């Protein structure tokens, strides 16, 4: 009897490096500074609000676009932070996480054969999302070691088939951020073209040293062609809740919702009810930058006693380190070896390049308790 043969849509994709390194860390009992998630507790108040919502009976489907009061409070937040008016009814959709928001935006826009400009190192879901939609990733390396965009190269790679440019600020894994001058370059490239923009801003509040977050939402003239993706998991230290949102123009959002309604349809109701109340206190997000910057600086202080050399990080949960004073091993081998021999897990940055480009740098997540960072540093100091 004939049996079906699956033809993989993603033949070259294995298990994501985050799972690989977290599993290795768990197996070996290593300190896990690899996968990006906090190990400190989330807000008790937010937990009580969600618990209260369940007890108050908010346990049935929410509206497919998301719980109304949550979208309203998000529109208020966007108005106060980014000085723009976003209509909560037509321009915001709550999603099960930032990853889903990104995937849905791409599925909404892309047709087979479209070209998509992706900067590498790239968050690991971007290129597979492009490929699953039958589109073609056009890869451009961010400039090592500051990881800024080379806009002249972007101009050279734009063709009549270019459909989308994918951005991420603050950037995972490098901690680089887009500056207003980058946006001016972007504007001049997309002007009078059919090019869409996706900007991943899941680390919007994690920008340091007093620098502003250059959100695409600040630029109404770009919003007619943009989707911007966010994650509550990253903002409120609850990555396991998998809740986020997408913001776009009314026209683009209408199409996004057509894809969304037949995929997840609506998201976990009590979390949305709890978040709607929690977000009315602006301090819950305004305090994040100082809180995480303190961790970044604390970790940097500890790491100064090791042979790792930091690259600058202006945002996100992450700090890259070169290890050229320790070894010239490929980064994947090095990460696995220090997890096994010294008990600290990191992420090799080559995993963020399709061709495995290896600048011999590893990524550390500093969104951890001070004691976790101290324990890691005590072990890393022993490497020479
Ligand atoms: N984009 C980037 C750059 C991320 O680092 C993450 C975090 N894992 C996401 C998107 C996904 O967020 P979520 O966990 O809400 O899906
Ligand atoms: N964003 C997280 C990171 O970069 C991990 C999310 C995931 O495991 N997919 O580490």
d(CA 18, CA 347): 7
Q: Is the whole-model pTM more than 0.95?
A: yes
Q: What is the pLDDT of residue 232?
A: 97
Pocket of ligand 1 (CB under 6 A): 36, 97-99, 123, 168, 172, 200, 202, 231, 233-234, 239, 242, 244
Q: Give distance in angstroms: CA of 327 to centre of ligand 1.
A: 31
> What total number of domains does the chain contain?
2
- Is 248 inside a domain boundary? yes
- Is 7 inside a domain boundary? no
- Is 344 inside a domain boundary? yes
Clarify whether residues 82 and 178 are in a common domain: yes
- Give 10-residue mean pLDDT values along the chain (384 residues): 90 89 96 95 97 98 98 98 98 98 98 98 96 98 97 98 98 97 98 98 97 97 97 94 98 98 96 98 96 97 97 95 97 97 97 95 97 98 94
The token pair that represents 349 in the structure block: 């940055």
Q: What is the pLDDT of residue 14?
A: 84
Query: Per-residue DSSP letters for 125-153?
Result: THHHHHHHTT-EEEEEEPBTTTTB--HHH
> 229: which strand partners?
200, 246
pLDDT digits (tens, 9 = 90+) for 132-178: 999 999 999 999 999 999 999 999 999 999 999 999 999 999 999 99
Clarify whether residues 219 and 109 are in a common domain: yes
Clarify whether residues 196 and 215 are in a common domain: yes
Q: What is the pLDDT of residue 12?
A: 87
Q: Give distance in angstroms: CA of 36 to centre of ligand 1.
A: 9
Among 283, 304, 321, where does a domain finish?
283
Domain that holds residue 32: 17-38+287-380
Clarify whether residues 101 and 223 are in a common domain: yes
- Is 12 inside a domain boundary? no
Q: Is the CB of 298 under 6 A from ligand 2?
A: no
- Looking up residue 99, the CATH number of its domain turns out to be 3.40.640.10
Q: Give distance in angstroms: CA of 170 to centre of ligand 2.
A: 14
Clarify whether residues 128 and 261 are in a common domain: yes
Clarify whether residues 216 and 72 are in a common domain: yes
Ligand nearest to the CA of 198: 1
d(CA 45, CA 84): 29
Q: Is the CB of 285 under 6 A from ligand 2?
A: no
Our mutation pick for probing the ligand 2 site, out of 15, 17, 24, 37, counting the most ligand atoms within 8 A of Cβ, is 37
d(CA 357, CA 330): 10
Clarify whether residues 113 and 32 are in a common domain: no
Our mutation pick for probing the ligand 2 site, out of 24, 35, 364, counting the most ligand atoms within 8 A of Cβ, is 35
Sheet architecture: strand order including 92-95: 92-95, 244-248, 226-231, 196-200, 162-168, 115-120, 136-141
Clarify whether residues 149 and 28 are in a common domain: no
- Is 11 inside a domain boundary? no
pLDDT digits (tens, 9 = 90+) for 231-244: 999 899 999 999 99
């Amino acid at each position: 009897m004939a049996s079906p043969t699956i033809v993989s849509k993603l033949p070259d994709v294995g298990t994501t490096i985050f799972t690989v390194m977290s599993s290795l860390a768990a197996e070996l009992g290593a300190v896990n500074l690899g996968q990006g998630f906090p190990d400190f507790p989330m807000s008790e108040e937010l937990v009580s609000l969600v618990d209260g919502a369940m007890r108050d009976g908010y346990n049935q489907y929410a509206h497919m676009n998301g719980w109304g009061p949550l979208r309203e409070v998000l529109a208020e937040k966007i108005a106060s932070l980014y000085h723009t008016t976003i209509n909560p009814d037509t321009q915001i959709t709550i999603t099960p996480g930032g990853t889903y928001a990104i995937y849905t935006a791409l599925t909404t826009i892309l047709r087979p054969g479209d070209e998509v400009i992706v900067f590498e190192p790239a968050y690991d879901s971007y290129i597979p999302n492009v490929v699953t939609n039958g589109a073609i990733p056009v890869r451009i390396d961010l400039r090592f070691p500051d990881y800024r965009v080379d806009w002249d190269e972007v101009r050279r790679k734009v063709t009549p088939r270019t459909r989308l440019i994918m951005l991420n600020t603050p950037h995972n894994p490098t901690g680089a951020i887009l500056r207003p001058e980058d946006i001016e370059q972007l504007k001049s490239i997309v002007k009078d073209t059919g090019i869409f923009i996706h900007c991943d801003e899941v680390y919007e509040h994690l920008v340091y040293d007093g620098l502003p977050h250059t959100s695409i939402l600040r630029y109404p003239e770009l919003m007619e062609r943009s989707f911007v993706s966010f994650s509550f998991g990253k903002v409120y230290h609850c990555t396991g809740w998998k809740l986020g949102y997408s913001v776009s123009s009314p026209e683009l959002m209408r199409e996004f919702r057509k894809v969304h309604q037949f995929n997840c349809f609506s998201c976990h109701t009590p979390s949305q009810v709890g978040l709607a109340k929690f977000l009315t206190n602006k301090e819950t997000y305004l305090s994040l930058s100082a809180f995480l910057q303190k961790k970044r600086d604390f970790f940097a202080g500890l790491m100064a006693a090791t042979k790792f050399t930091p690259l600058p990080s202006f945002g996100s949960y992450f700090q890259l380190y070169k290890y050229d004073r320790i070894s010239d091993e490929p980064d994947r081998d090095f990460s696995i070896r220090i997890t096994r021999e010294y008990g600290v897990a990191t992420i090799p940055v080559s995993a963020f390049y399709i061709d495995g480009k290896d600048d011999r740098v590893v990524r550390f997540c500093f969104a951890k308790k001070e004691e976790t960072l101290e324990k890691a540093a005590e072990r890393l100091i022993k490497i020479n």
